[in-house]
Amino acid sequence: MAENCPIIETRELNVCYGPVCVIDQVNMGVEPNRITAIIGPSGSGKSTLLRCFNRMNDLIPSFHMSGSVLFAGEDLYDDSVDPTEIRYQIGMVFQRPNPFPKSIFDNVAFGPRVNGFRGDLAALVEQSIRRAALWDEVKDRLKDSALSLSGGQQQRLCIARALAVQPRVILMDEPCSALDPISTQAIEELMRELSNEYSIVIVTHNMQQAARVSDYTAFLNPREDKISELIEFDQTRQIFTNPKDERTEAYITGRFG
């Protein structure tokens, strides 16, 4: 059973900011050690959905939701759950690289330090940077400011930073949209590699990217009332070759609106 049990699962998830509802009735499951892509037009609540998975939406005062999000079978939004504990296990990479204005080393060491990591910090940092395929580029300048890196390197540093807290899931919110094609390719290869050990959820605007890297794809689309619903969720191959819903087909083939 554990084999096929989704690591993150949403049930009847409905999210609003104040009076404005964003997504409604989302039921989906994120398979362990697979890459799940969330696609959909701008404003369809992709990032909102992603941010429910590590409770980042809690930081927005007007946020409220109904339904539930399960992480490894446990309710993420249960009163007994500490959101900061959750975020050790579910890392996140953002749209724009956002390294701290500290050294490369301190960026990666930040998570372990705040989580009270006891052990060989230097080894953990090295291992994390290696996994993010950045080690050879930065090994001689770990003390330099992270802002001296290029955009693509900064984004891989942010991935290394997320890996350093040893999460089980990595959420990526359009991780390549601020990057050039070469950096994008590097990140995509990295994602494929990381999916052996981690479950990855990626929000992307880029359908080719979803088709290239992901195993599963979820398609969100706003209804008439502007609230988005999950139109279709299936294996990526299925979505892109044989979509069941005509709206999905219209979106992926570019015949939209």
Partner 1 sequence: MTSPDTAYEELVSGPIPWVGRTRRWKRYLPERIIKAVLFFCSIVSIFTTVGIVSVLIFEAALFFQEVSIVEFLTNTKWTPLFASKNFGILPLVTGTILTSMGAMFVALPLGLMSAIYLSEYAPDTARQIVKPVLEILAGIPTVVYGYFALLFVTPILRSISDDISVFNGLSASIVMGIMILPMVSSLSEDAMRSVPRSLREGAYALGATRLEVSTRVVIPAALSGIVAAFILATSRAIGETMIVTIAAGQNPTFTFNPFVPIETMTAYIVQVSLGDTPTGTLEFKTIFAVGLSLFVITLSMNLLSQFIVRRFREVYE
Site for partner 1, rule CB under 8 A: 54, 56, 59, 61, 84-88, 91-92, 94, 96, 98-102, 110-111, 114-115, 145, 147, 158, 161-162, 165
Give the nearest distance from C-beta 81 to partner 1 in angstroms.
13
Q: Which is nearer to partner 1, 85 or 246 (CB)?
A: 85
Give the nearest distance from C-beta 61 to partner 1 in angstroms.
6
Q: Which is nearer to partner 1, 158 or 227 (CB)?
A: 158
Q: Give CA–CA dist 202/66, Å, rounded.
A: 23
Q: Give CA–CA dist 108/100, Å, rounded.
A: 10
> Quick check: helix, strand or coil at residue 65?
strand
Give the nearest distance from C-beta 248 to partner 1 in angstroms.
30
Q: Give CA–CA dist 91/161, Å, rounded.
A: 9
Give the nearest distance from C-beta 221 to partner 1 in angstroms.
26
Q: Which is nearer to partner 1, 3 or 82 (CB)?
A: 82
Q: Inter-axis angle of helices 181-194 and 151-163, to 10 degrees?
A: 20
Q: Which is nearer to partner 1, 111 or 152 (CB)?
A: 111
The one-character DSSP state at 61 is T
Give the nearest distance from C-beta 77 to partner 1 in angstroms.
16
> Quick check: helix, strand or coil at residue 76?
coil
Q: Which is nearer to partner 1, 111 or 222 (CB)?
A: 111
| Contacts of 193 by beta carbon, 8 Å cutoff, 6+ apart | 133
Give the nearest distance from C-beta 171 to partner 1 in angstroms.
8
Q: Which is nearer to partner 1, 143 or 255 (CB)?
A: 143
Q: Is the dihedral of CA 226, 201, 130, 161 positive or negative?
A: positive
DSSP code string of 181-249: HHHHHHHHHHHHHHTTTSEEEEE-S-HHHHHHH-SEEEEEEE-TTS-EEEEEEEEHHHHHHS-SSHHHH
